[in-house]
Amino acid sequence: MTRRILLNIFLASFLILSSWLSYIPNALAMGGQQPPLNEPAPLFTLPTNTGDGEVSLQDYRGQWVVLYFYPKDFTSGCTLEARRFQQDLAQYQDRNAQILGVSADDVDSHAEFCDSEGLKFPLLADTTGEISKAYGSWYGFVSARHTYLIDPDGILRDIFLGVMPAVHSEEVLARLDELEAA
Identify the pLDDT of residue 31: 74
Identify the pLDDT of residue 25: 39
**Sign of the dihedral defined by the CA atoms of residues 46, 15, 33, 24, in that order:** positive
Identify the pLDDT of residue 76: 95
In the residue annotation, 78 being an active-site residue is answered as yes
Better-predicted residue by pLDDT, 51 or 122: 122
Identify the pLDDT of residue 27: 39
Q: Is this model's pTM higher than 0.75 or not?
A: yes
Q: Could you tell me the domains of the chain?
A: 3-181 (3.40.30.10)
Calculated CA dihedral for residues 27, 147, 174, 80, nearest 10 degrees: -130
Residue 29 has pLDDT above 80, yes or no: no
DSSP 57: G
What pLDDT digit, counting tens, does each position of 59-88 carry? 999 999 999 999 999 999 999 999 999 999
- Percent of the chain residues topping a pLDDT of 70: 84
For the chain, list the strands marked E by DSSP.
45-47, 54-56, 64-69, 97-103, 123-125, 147-150, 156-160
Identify the pLDDT of residue 52: 82
Residue 101 has pLDDT above 90, yes or no: yes
From residue 86, alpha-carbon distances to 80, 99, 138, 142 in Å are: 10, 9, 24, 22
Using pLDDT thresholds of 50, 70 and 90, give the confidence band for residue 182.
Answer: confident
The stretch 36-47 carries a mean pLDDT of 98
Exposure string for 7-34, b = 16+ CB within 10 A, e = fewer: eeeeeeeebeebbebbeeeeeebbbbeb
Q: What is the mean pLDDT of the chain?
A: 88
Inter-helix orientation angle 76-87/107-117, to 10°? 60
What pLDDT digit, counting tens, does each position of 104-155 carry? 999 999 999 999 999 999 999 999 999 999 999 999 899 999 999 999 999 9
The CA distance from 15 to 29, in Å, is 15
Catalytic residue among 78, 97, 100, 119: 78
Better-predicted residue by pLDDT, 44 or 30: 44
The rounded Cα 90 to chain-centroid distance in angstroms is 18
26-30, 133-137, 175-179, range with the lowest pLDDT: 26-30
- Pure H helices in 58-106: 76-87, 89-94
